[in-house]
Each structure stands twice: as C-alpha cells, then as structure tokens.
Structure 1
C-alpha cells in the first residue's frame, strides 16, 4: 500500500450466505500458522491506500472469534511456479479490466473482483489523485502512487502482475473475473470508485492487492478486514462477518502455499488487521478485504516480491482462499 504518497519518485525505466463461522473455519488460520512454523524450521522462504490516519486495530486470532529486474528471478506461468520470461512480466496478455468470459468449473456463476492497488500512471497525475473523496467517515485522497522496493520495483507493477496471475487461476475454476484497472486508464480509479466497481458487479468476493512500505526489518503479510462503520455513505455492518471469513481463508491459504509468515509488525501475529479508515472497505457493500503481501522496503521481503516464482505462489495462495470462501 502507499506509504510514500503522491510525491513518490518512480524509477526511470518502466519495465473479493454467510452464517456463523464453523469450528473448522475458526481453526483454519492457527493451523496454517503452525504449518508455517514447521515449514520455516526447515528453511522455507518465510524463515529468515496510504498511511493510516488512525492506528489499525489488531484482530483477535481466528481461533478466538531484490532487485527490480533480478536476472535470477524466473517469471511464472499461469499454472506453475516457474517458467521462462522476464521477472516483471505478467503471465497473461493484458486485456481490458471489464469482466472476462468464464470457463465451466466449480465457481461458474461467481463473480470475483480483483483490485490491483494503485495505477502505474498515478505519478503523472498528482493533482488528480490528490483530490479529496468521501469515504463515509471522512475525506481522503483519491489515491496515491504506492510504494516501491529500494531498487525501484513499484507496488503498482507488483499488484498488476499478481492480479493477472490470479485472474488466470480463478478463470480456470469458472469464475467471472473483473479487474478494477488494468493499466488501461491514465490514473486511478479513486478509492470510492474502486468500491463502486465491486458493488456494481455484485461481486461475491473482492480482494484489493497491495505491498507495504514499512521500515526495514518489518516482514510478512497481513490481511486487512473492514471494521463496523456506519457514517455518511458508509455502512459495512452487513459485510463485516463474511469479509472476516474471506480474510481468514485467504490468510490460512497464503501461509500454506507461500510459506510466508504473518506480519511481525501488524496484527499481533494473526496476519489479520481491522481498519475503519479505508474508503475501499468502508464503501463496499460486498465481502471485501485488502492483502499486504509483504514489505517492499525490507530486503528479504523484497527478494520474494520481485520473484516471479514467488508471485505465482502468492497468486495461488490468495486464489485458493477465495475459492474456499466461495465454495463454503
């Protein structure tokens, strides 16, 4: 997510039914975290929207409620963990962000909206993305530029590549997939429009993709859940519970597939954080979560985020969580 704000200096070369959660679901994330600990002990890769206006609240544990273009990174294929190609390249041909045709499969009839955080062109439109929009609780900037690794691999590049990989995986399951943006517009959409896209699509699940810009030494992923908000145009009461279920399933699957640890600086080790200051969540009327896949400003996390093979695992982990949520 953006922590540098609209003043970010880009690199010169550009290369989303619900009753109470079941006992099994309540145990999902802790079980996955235990799996991560075992994985990490044998040397797995997890071993070694702007800054919030208010401090995020830590969710209780679910059981209780590299280089920008590193030549060594292999770009993954849509169906595997590795393959040929440039590390920053998407495994699929870019297409408009409108809904793509779905294949037959277990998710046929389901609509998933993927929200790649930040537009690669935002930095060229500072005045536009600085425009204040209503998020229910208050007003915030339309969008930000996003963060980047120290070597210049941008969050916008990362989220778009990850979105393409997820789209391919979810379409294989029969879902209809829509992206909020596919680098097919000069800037944006603004955070309020991002929410409206999911609402208008009557999405069964929406996931907003991000990478963090925290300090070095801060590592790991966390999933951001909507808090209960009722103010102005925002009313999240109907989506809090299903969004938590979606987030828990994504967190558990992300740990299992990537081997990455939950954040060591947000969420109290649960990998789950609740916030009430994000327009993309406040204005949503359908189940929605954000995921911060890692910290771009930490060299070890950056090495993962710039790896095509790891990004394919991340896409698989998030997609598996969505599939689990949608199949109940």
Structure 2
C-alpha cells in the first residue's frame, strides 16, 4: 500500500522512452556540466551565493544583537501532521554517537512545552508553584490548531527531531519529558530544575502560540533580569541573549517563517520576566514560539512533518553556533 506523508515521497511518473533528439541532447550535457564546474571554481561560488538564501536572511544571520529580522519566502510542507518516533525521522548527515562529535562534552536540555496528557489532569497542572517573582500554575494544556493538532504533540515531535540532530553533532541531549513518563507536567519549576541539575550548556523550550487568526510568525523569548525569591537570572541574561539571537537567525533561514507580526515589534524577540522556566534557570535558556497555531497559514506549516524538520534544523544550527562560539 502506497503512503504519501512526511517520510514518504509520492510515486514518480514513468519516464517516456528516449527518442533520437533526446539522445543527442544528452550527449551535450557532460560538456555543459564541465563548463559549469569550471565557472563555479573560477567564480568562487558557494552555498551562500544568490539563489541559495535570500539576502535579507543572510543579513539576519550575521546579526549579533536583537534587531528586526527580515522574512524569507514561506516554506511549503506536506501538511500531514505526522510525528516522528523516539529518535526522530529524516535526520540529515551521518549519525554520531553522543560525546564523540564536535560538540563532545556539551549538554543540551530540550523542553517540549506542555504534555499531551495535561488536559486530563486539571487539578495537578492548576496548582501553583513559586517562580521567583510570584506564583503561577504548574503547567497548562497548551493550544492547538483549529483541526485539533495539539501544541503538546507538536513540541514533542519537534524535540525528537532536534535531539537527533544535536546527537549527530556529539552533544549529550536530555529532554524534560519524553512522552513515556508521567501523564502530565512536569511543572515549570521542575522543567527549569532539570536543566540546572544537568549543568546544561544550553537549554531551549519549544512552543507554538495560540493567538488570533491573522497573527503569524515566530518569536524567541529571552529572559529578563530577575532577582527575587528563588529567581536570579542576572548571570544568564547575556548568554541567553546570544543563544536567542543565533537560534532566531538560523530558524528564519531554514524555515522562511517570518518574525512575529503581533509581538516584539517585528524584531522576532520578546523579553519576559513572568515565565518560571526562564526565571528559575541558572543555565543559558530561551523559549521559541515557532508560529501561531490559530492562523491558517502558520497551521499549515506547523502540521507539516517536512517543515518541522526544517524547524529542527534551524534550531539545531542556532544551538550549535552558540556552543561553538569563540
């Protein structure tokens, strides 16, 4: 049985028999190809030449501080909503055992926002926990697309894809939850604690927003300076800022998803001091809202397995850039 989805390609039409003209033209191809190779060698062509990435995207990649990010053309997807297995699918490159690649010795904590079972445990997730500045709900159910594809399902799938890519670089990767543990949570304070106790070199919380239709785009949430109660972010504000800038630039380049048109003034960055996952972190950490699930254009991307792989690639490249910084 044939299946068209995020990990399968549709059957290709059978090629017609070649005629004499086709054969004659084929004979000219090697010479033309050789000329192209020579041209490329002389011209210094490379992956960043025009046609590989929009100039605005390259400008955003080079940025070293939060500023407006220019949008690339929107990426298309298969709109399947298919999820990966525990190790993700469609990995790029040759798998590398954790600890034996260029990121050997680096620890990354991935926090898939919410939990697919949260909606069945209202009492547990509604109890409040201390986030330093005040008390807040343990967790929430998250949002979903109009067709019922949940944020929790999205973030867990994206986390699996991202884990695979980072492990290929040799990083040790820990998830705050993996879909096979407790049926709810963990609470936001525990999510921060997992990163702290792992002594993570970088941590990222994955989300998708639930704003009004017409509001679209991604934004990266940076920790503000907090020094109250159990929270003290003063030591991580700087490196978290650096991490967020790198993730935003790479995410934009890989996905083409524009910066948010409803938060952050078009910059793609928002600073907050009301999130326990950031307030209680003692390691560099950011959140990324990958798009708005309630907008039809963004929903079409977020439900695409092919697009989620691009999102994972962009986030991974941002984290790798941060961990390999001089």
* Fold conserved between structures, TM > 0.5: yes
**Is residue 2:190 matched to residue 1:196?**
no
Q: 1:316 to 1:32 in 2, by over 3 A?
A: farther
Give the greater-gyration-radius structure (CA): 2
**Is residue 2:150 matched to residue 1:144?**
no
Shift of 1:271: 0.4
Cα contact 2:203–2:286 (8 A) shared by 1? yes
**Is residue 2:157 matched to residue 1:161?**
yes
Residue of 208, 211, 214 corresponding to 1:211? 208
Residue of 127, 131, 139 corresponding to 1:131? 127
Q: 1:25 to 1:316 in 2, by over 3 A?
A: closer
Aligned pairs for 1:1-328 within 5 A:
27-28=63-64, 33-34=69-70, 36=71, 39-40=72-73, 44-45=74-75, 72-73=78-79, 87-93=81-87, 102-183=98-179, 184-328=181-325
Cα contact 2:66–2:269 (8 A) shared by 1? no
Q: 1:224 to 1:158 in 2, by over 3 A?
A: same
TM-score normalised according to structure 1 size = 0.75
Structure 2 residues not aligned, in runs of 5+:
1-59, 89-95
Aligned length: 258
Shift of 1:298: 0.3
CA distance in 1, matches of 2:135, 2:99: 40
Shift of 1:307: 0.2
1:234-257 Cα offsets, whole Å, 9 max, x none, are 000000000000000000001111
Cα contact 1:101–1:176 (8 A) shared by 2? no
Shift of 1:88: 2.3
Q: 1:30 to 1:181 in 2, by over 3 A?
A: closer
Shift of 1:31: 9.3
CA distance in 2, matches of 1:225, 1:213: 19
Structure 1 residues not aligned, in runs of 5+:
1-23, 47-65, 67-71, 75-86, 95-99
CA distance in 2, matches of 1:141, 1:149: 23
Moved over 2 A (4+): 24-34, 91-94
Which is helix-richer, 1 or 2?
A: 2
CA distance in 1, matches of 2:99, 2:323: 16
CA distance in 2, matches of 1:270, 1:191: 26
State the secondary structure of the residue aligned to 1:33. Answer: coil
Cα contact 2:99–2:105 (8 A) shared by 1? no
Shift of 1:30: 7.7
Cα contact 2:217–2:292 (8 A) shared by 1? yes
| Residue of structure 2 in register with 1:78 after alignment | none
Q: What's the C-alpha RMSD, in Å, of the aligned pairs?
A: 2.2
Shift of 1:73: 3.3
Q: 1:270 to 1:230 in 2, by over 3 A?
A: same
1:103-151 Cα offsets, whole Å, 9 max, x none, are 4111010000000000111111100000110000000000000000000
Q: 1:131 to 1:101 in 2, by over 3 A?
A: farther
Shift of 1:185: 1.4
Shift of 1:186: 1.4
Shift of 1:32: 9.0
